[in-house]
Amino acid sequence: MAFRDHLGAAQIESAPVSIIHGMWEHSRASKHALTVFDNLIESPGQRAAVNILTRDRLCEAIGISPEAYIDTLGWAMQNPSEPVIVDASEAECFENIQESVDITALPIPHHWPQDRGRYSSASVIIAEDNGIRNMSFHRQFVRDSNHLVVRLVPRHLRTMTMKARASGGEVNIVVVNAPDPVVLLAAAMSFDDNIDELTIAAALHEKLYGKPLRLTRMPNGVLAPADAEYVLWGRITGENDDEGPYVDITGTVDDVRQEPVIEIDGVVHQRQSSHLPRPDSWRSRA
């Protein structure tokens, strides 16, 4: 299933709203209601959704009770499944290809005034290196038209990056925005071992929807959910740059650090439907 299939309960805000603090201010005023913005001043023709990435809303989206949440994730960990790979011609995310890479044209918001700038924190990064695949959440600061600065917390993706850098290499990645919620759930899980989170997502997808999770291969070789709203592909480079300040989920202003730079080589996204909102949900909270 696609992310947009789960937005039936969303409020639609059609008044002009700025991605610079405007979505944050609207969310706070609405007590953080699930909202789709369809008239973004700086991103004409694009839409954005906020406030779906809470446990209760995710459980509602995938049809389980909050009480069954942990048991369902535990079952998926014990029963990983292989996704199916489809050609790009069958993948919804390839309906539109950005002719010239410009991530500043995407509806990535600047929420808190204290933040360094525009941040994507509800997207997941999928990395593949030396036969190991990892999927996890890492916030990304929009530096310019084709670069992000990623805050790599000390988990598997940082280890992969440091290993690649030690030999002068880079890590091929995709940044995925608004896949089905089971992918987001799997990406949020933490494991001691190098477990492929996409096999957990595939198990959840089969259990909850009765269908396999479909992936498609990006030009850099990394697999991504075929029906994700947006997929950006590129590389974690050997360059570092300033990341932060940033207001984290606790309300604390995080420090400025030197963090790795991602160079984006391409952007694809789904076609906007005339009757369904495009859920470009670039922020996990407002």
Instruction: Find the mean pLDDT for residues 150-156.
Output: 92
pLDDT digits (tens, 9 = 90+) for 180-190: 989 988 998 87
Is the per-residue pLDDT at 278 higher than 60?
no
- Cα→Cα distances 114→23, 245, 252, 260, Å: 15, 7, 10, 21
Point out the catalytic residue in the list 248, 255, 265, 280: 248
Query: What single DSSP character describes residue 272?
Result: P
- In three-state secondary structure terms, 89 is helix
Which pLDDT band, with edges at 50, 70 and 90, does 4 fall under? Answer: confident
Average pLDDT, the chain: 89
Question: Residues 208-237: pLDDT tens digits?
Answer: 999 999 999 999 999 999 999 999 999 999
- Is residue 156 classed as helix, strand or coil in its secondary structure? helix
> Coil, helix or strand for 59?
helix
Q: Within the chain, where are the H helices?
A: 22-29, 55-62, 69-78, 156-166, 181-188, 197-209
Name the least confident of 13-17, 50-54, 123-127, 211-215. Answer: 50-54
Domain 3-269 part of CATH 1.10.10.60: no
With a pLDDT cut of 90, the percent of the chain lying above it is 67
The answer to whether 248 is a known catalytic residue is yes
